[in-house]
Amino acid sequence: MLNITKTSKRTENCNFSKRTDSITTYSTTGSVQLAGDSIWGYAGPNTVKVDSITVIESVYADEPADTYTLVNVAHNTTWDIYTDSAFESAISKTVGFPVQFTEQGMQENNYASLESA
């Protein structure tokens, strides 16, 4: 189970792309019990510690306005937890909205890239 211990927020504007980013970082304690259903043959521990979750909501000022939400997760294992359904579910529950993994090439050891579903 994950618990949020600290929340920090900031806003950044990009005039070039006419975009405003609202960035919220949650420091967390706890871990996620994996489902073990990763298609990449993950062979590490069944439990993954999550240190922080950063939610970046980008609002583009084009007509009509468009929003994209990226969710970055700092964890203590390898990238091949990619596609584990319990990981997605635990992060969704913690941030309060459904998320899904982004593409495989965006995953790294100790880092998971997800987006709003």
Q: What residues make up the domain containing 99? A: 2-116
Give the helix/strand (H/E) hosting 89.
helix 85-95
Place of tokens 């949650």: 26
Q: Are 112 and 101 in contact (CB under 8 A)?
A: yes
pLDDT confidence band for 34 (50 / 70 / 90) = very high
Q: What's the number of domains the chain is made of?
A: 1
Confidence of residue 17 (pLDDT cuts 50, 70, 90): confident
Average pLDDT over residues 20-42: 97
Instruction: Give the dihedral sign, CA 15/105/44/100.
Output: positive
pTM given for the model: 0.93
Q: How confident is the model at residue 65 (pLDDT cuts 50, 70, 90)?
A: confident
